[in-house]
Structure 1
């Protein structure tokens, strides 16, 4: 299925609850093995095709580095067809985490409304290699289409608020992280930004996913 056909069927797929199927097909049409969409500089993961794409986004958010977090790419795509050759010096921790997942190439397109970036579309490959000109252009088309979809979306009763949920579902993947950040901020008497830094550091030091550490902190709260 072509990218054009997928974009025509986007609304129908959303209405039918086939987010994951659509995302998987879209990734393959772009010549990728998986895709994910995050909002607000990676602070909220809302749509992903598979576990690797979700974990790749979590790695960027936990480490606070990576192509999806770089502010200079707020309007321009960032393509890293060979992580080891192009990104090791700038984002060494992210590259190391990505390669542990078997990822060797990462491609990021801005999800934007006019001049305002509201998120990013990230795709990956497990083998190095650039996209074709057509695939790179199609990635921008997909990012623009997802901008309209995500700006129109509002979480309802069916939205997950308890972690990862199902791959592909538009949800608050990091709801636990936001709650744990607030709890740490109150408990330690520090600003929210510092509480999030401490939460990230705890996840990095333990080698565990950020969402898992957040749930642990929430379980420690008094009833």
Structure 2
């Protein structure tokens, strides 16, 4: 199966369900069980195929470590062919294995020398990608870069309205809202507030998004 058809579907997608379907199809075409795209070094999840791929991104963002955040891309893609043998990100590796993830692959979302984010895929069995899968993944990453660069914030509609083709789903908006709430409440910088929110999520063992929702329930943003 070629990646071209699901990518064409992404360009025409008008709601989150259709965008999710295109991600599922792309993952299958690449021989992966799931894929996700995060921007700004994991600070915003904008596209994912399944809950495990979203949880992997959440784990990287919460822990502040993982291949999607730190890969130098001297080789593309960056391949962690066996998560259990990787000692660079011990906490992330433990989280990934607990989810049943054994291999992780990362392609850069970039334009020229400017890196915008990362496309991350996973499998439940260890082993590297084939040369064709590696090349097709880069093709997906390049096309996603064009899609993201063409996106305008005005394209996003409210949850009760029909979306527009090319819109981006901002899955971690609550995290950013909760960071602002903690910053104001504690009188600390946004960076420090985010560190505290991550620490709280890690200590509780729950997703960062759930921790953010609890903060917002206790003290909604004004």
Q: How does 1:12-91 map to 2 (within 5 A)?
A: 12=12, 14-15=13-14, 18-70=18-70, 72-73=72-73, 76-85=76-85, 87=86, 89-91=87-89
Cα pair distance change 1:189/1:150, threshold 3 Å: same
Cα pair distance change 1:136/1:201, threshold 3 Å: same
Q: How many residues align?
A: 213
Whole-Å separation in 2 of the counterparts to 1:95 and 1:16: 33
Contact 1:159 1:171 survives alignment (8 Å): no
TM-score (ref. length: structure 1): 0.88
Q: How does 1:116-127 map to 2 (within 5 A)?
A: 116-127=114-125
Contact 1:74 1:117 survives alignment (8 Å): no
Cα pair distance change 1:80/1:15, threshold 3 Å: same
Cα pair distance change 1:174/1:7, threshold 3 Å: closer
What's the counterpart of residue 179 of structure 1? 177
Contact 1:159 1:172 survives alignment (8 Å): no
For structure 1, which runs of at least 5 residues remain unmatched after alignment?
161-168
1:159 Cα deviation (Å)? Answer: 5.2
Is 2:157 the counterpart of 1:158?
yes
SS at match of 2:28: helix
TM-score (ref. length: structure 2): 0.89
Whole-Å separation in 2 of the counterparts to 1:15 and 1:195: 34
Whole-Å separation in 1 of the counterparts to 2:169 and 2:102: 27
